[in-house]
C-alpha cells in the first residue's frame, strides 16, 4: 500500500516534466522536455546537453535525465530469442522472422527516436510496476569470433514499437527482409531491450541474468533476392489490401517484395485502407543506375505509421546502409544519405553529385508528400510511386483528397 502511494507520487513528479503537446505522439507515449543541466553535466562546460536527438555524426553530450523508476526485483526483464534457432543456417534470399520472448516488459512504449531519445526517465506501469518500453533486433556480420564487431556496422536493425498481442504479452517479432543480408557467413542476432525513450532498462540489482539475448546463425544465399513479383507497375495487383482497418503500426514488411498494400484501389469508396500504403519498390530490383560504393541503394520511402507515427513521414528503405529513423522533413533524410554515401559508403564523386541533385529535386516538390521521395529516388534511376500515398498530418487526418483517381 505504502509503496503504491510512493509510486503514484513518483509518477506525478515525472508527469510534471512532460511537454505540453503530446498530440503528435502515438497513444501511450508521452513527450518530455529536456531537464535543466544537472550539477554533474555542469562540470563539463564544453559538452553540450543531450536534447533528444541522436548524434549520429559524432560528438559527446551529457544527459540530465533522471534514471527514473526502478522496478521490484521480481519484475526484472529477461529475453530469449526463440527464432531462428541458435546455430542454425538461414536462407537470406527469403524473409527471416526473428521472434523473441520477453518477460516483465510492458511493450508498445516507443518514443520518437529522433526527438525524444533518452528524454524520458524509465517509467513503470502504475498497476503492475513493470517497466514500460520496447524491443529492438540488431543483426551484425561477425568477421571474427575473437574480436568484438564495430557497433556502427550492422546488417539489419529494427525497433519493434508495437505492443505484444499474444495472450501473455511476451512475444514480439521482426522480419529480416529477403535480400537484406548481402554477405554469407556468421552473423550475430541480438535483442536490445529499451525503455520508452530507448535507454537500456535499469534494473534493481547488479547480479542477475541478462535482460537481452544474442544468438549466432550462419547465413547462406546472401545478396540474392527472389524474382520480383511486381516488375513494371502495380496496377490491379491489390494483394492483401482488402478493407482492413489496420493502421499498420510497426509492420515488419518494409522493403520486401510482396507488394502488399499498393495504392490503385480505384473506386474503393472507403478510406479504411489508406493507412497501409506505400509500395516497396526499394528492393524490387530498384537498384538504380549509380555506384553506391559499399552501400545499398539509397531509396527513400514515404508512408504512415513509421515508428508509430500518426502522420506520414520519410525514411530510408535500406536501414543496413542508411541507419536513420523517420522524419517529416525529407531533407533530414536526404542530407543523412548524402553524408553517408560520402563518408561511409565511399561512393564516387559522381554519385555524390547525383545525391546533391536528388536533394534539390526532392526540395522542389511539395513538402511532406510522397512526390518528394519519388523525385529523390528518380535521380538515381529508381522508380517509385509514393506520390500516390495519401499524406496525413500528425493527428492522423488526411492532408487532402487523394488525387490519383
Residues of the shown chain interacting with Cu ion in the complex, contacts defined by CB under 5 A = 159, 194, 198
Q: DSSP assignment of 235-303, as one string?
A: TT--TTTTT-----TT-S-TT-SS--S-S--TT----TTGGG----GGGTT---SS--TTS----EEEE
Q: Of all residues in the chain, what percent are helix, strand and coil, respectively (each to 5)?
A: 20, 20, 65
Pairwise CA distance, residues 263 & 273, whole Å: 9
Q: Taking the complex as a whole, how short is the minimal distance between the CB of residue 217 and Cu ion, in angstroms?
A: 23
CB closer to Cu ion, 108 vs 194: 194
Q: Containing H/E element for 304?
A: strand 300-304
Q: Taking the complex as a whole, how short is the minimal distance between the CB of residue 101 and Cu ion, in angstroms?
A: 19
Q: Taking the complex as a whole, how short is the minimal distance between the CB of residue 256 and Cu ion, in angstroms?
A: 22
| Bridge partners for 157 per DSSP | 138
Q: CA of 143: how far to CAs of 81, 128, 140, 150, 200, in Å?
A: 22, 43, 9, 10, 26
Pairwise CA distance, residues 281 & 387, whole Å: 13
CB closer to Cu ion, 158 vs 277: 158
Start-to-end CA distance of the chain, whole Å, equals 60
Q: Taking the complex as a whole, how short is the minimal distance between the CB of residue 174 and Cu ion, in angstroms?
A: 12
Residue of minimal CB distance from Cu ion? 198
CB closer to Cu ion, 198 vs 368: 198
CB closer to Cu ion, 116 vs 377: 116
Residue found by looking up cell 533528444 in the block: 52
CB closer to Cu ion, 76 vs 120: 120
CB closer to Cu ion, 130 vs 284: 130
CB closer to Cu ion, 336 vs 380: 336
Report whether 109 contacts 123 (CB < 8 A). Answer: yes
Pairwise CA distance, residues 289 & 297, whole Å: 9
Report whether 225 contacts 283 (CB < 8 A). Answer: yes
CB closer to Cu ion, 159 vs 261: 159
Q: Taking the complex as a whole, how short is the minimal distance between the CB of residue 41 and Cu ion, in angstroms?
A: 23
Q: Which residues contact 130 (CB under 8 A, 6 or more apart)?
A: 71, 75, 104, 105, 106, 124
Pairwise CA distance, residues 127 & 119, whole Å: 23
Q: Taking the complex as a whole, how short is the minimal distance between the CB of residue 52 and Cu ion, in angstroms?
A: 13
CB closer to Cu ion, 151 vs 232: 151
Q: Taking the complex as a whole, how short is the minimal distance between the CB of residue 201 and Cu ion, in angstroms?
A: 11
Q: Taking the complex as a whole, how short is the minimal distance between the CB of residue 194 and Cu ion, in angstroms?
A: 4
Cα Rg of the chain, angstroms = 22
Q: Taking the complex as a whole, how short is the minimal distance between the CB of residue 254 and Cu ion, in angstroms?
A: 16
Amino acid at each position: 500500500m505504502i509503496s503504491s502511494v510512493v509510486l503514484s507520487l513518483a509518477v506525478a513528479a515525472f508527469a510534471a516534466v512532460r511537454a505540453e503537446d503530446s498530440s503528435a505522439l502515438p497513444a501511450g507515449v508521452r513527450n518530455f522536455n529536456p531537464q535543466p543541466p544537472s550539477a554533474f553535466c555542469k562540470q563539463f562546460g564544453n559538452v553540450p546537453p543531450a536534447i533528444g536527438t541522436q548524434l549520429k555524426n559524432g560528438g559527446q553530450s551529457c544527459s540530465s535525465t533522471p534514471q527514473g523508476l526502478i522496478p521490484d526485483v521480481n519484475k526484472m526483464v529477461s529475453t530469449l530469442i526463440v527464432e531462428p534457432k541458435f546455430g542454425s543456417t538461414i536462407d537470406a534470399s527469403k524473409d527471416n522472422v526473428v521472434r523473441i520472448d520477453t518477460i516483465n516488459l510492458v511493450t508498445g512504449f516507443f518514443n520518437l527516436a529522433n526527438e525524444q531519445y533518452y528524454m524520458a526517465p524509465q517509467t513503470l506501469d502504475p498497476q503492475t510496476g513493470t517497466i514500460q518500453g520496447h524491443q529492438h533486433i540488431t543483426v551484425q556480420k561477425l568477421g571474427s569470433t575473437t574480436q568484438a564487431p564495430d557497433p556502427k556496422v550492422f546488417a539489419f536493425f529494427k525497433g519493434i514499437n508495437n505492443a505484444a498481442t499474444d495472450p501473455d504479452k511476451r512475444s514480439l517479432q521482426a522480419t529480416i527482409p529477403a535480400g537484406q543480408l548481402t554477405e554469407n557467413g556468421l552473423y550475430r542476432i541480438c535483442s536490445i531491450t529499451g525503455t520508452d525513450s530507448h535507454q537500456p532498462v535499469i534494473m534493481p540489482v547488479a547480479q542477475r541474468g541478462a535482460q537481452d539475448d544474442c544468438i549466432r546463425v550462419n547465413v547462406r544465399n546472401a545478396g540474392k533476392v527472389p524474382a520480383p513479383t511486381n516488375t513494371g507497375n502495380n496496377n490491379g495487383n491489390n494483394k492483401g489490401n482488402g478493407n482492413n482497418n489496420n493502421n499498420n503500426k510497426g509492420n515488419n514488411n518494409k522493403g520486401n517484395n510482396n507488394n502488399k498494400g499498393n495504392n490503385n484501389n480505384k473506386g474503393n469508396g472507403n478510406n479504411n485502407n489508406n493507412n497501409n500504403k506505400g509500395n516497396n519498390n526499394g528492393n524490387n530490383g530498384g537498384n538504380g543506375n549509380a555506384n553506391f560504393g559499399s552501400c545499398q541503394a539509397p531509396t527513400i520511402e514515404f508512408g504512415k505509421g513509421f515508428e508509430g507515427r500518426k502522420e506520414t513521414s520519410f525514411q530510408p528503405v535500406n536501414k543496413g546502409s542508411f541507419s536513420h529513423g523517420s522524419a517529416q522533413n525529407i531533407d533530414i533524410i536526404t542530407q543523412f544519405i548524402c553524408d553517408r554515401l560520402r563518408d561511409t559508403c565511399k561512393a564516387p564523386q559522381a554519385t555524390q553529385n547525383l545525391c546533391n541533385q536528388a536533394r534539390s529535386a526532392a526540395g522542389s516538390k511539395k513538402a511532406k508528400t510522397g512526390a518528394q521521395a519519388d523525385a529523390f529516388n528518380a535521380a538515381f534511376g529508381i522508380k517509385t510511386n509514393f506520390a500516390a500515398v495519401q499524406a496525413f498530418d500528425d493527428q492522423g487526418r488526411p492532408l487532402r483528397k487523394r488525387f490519383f483517381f
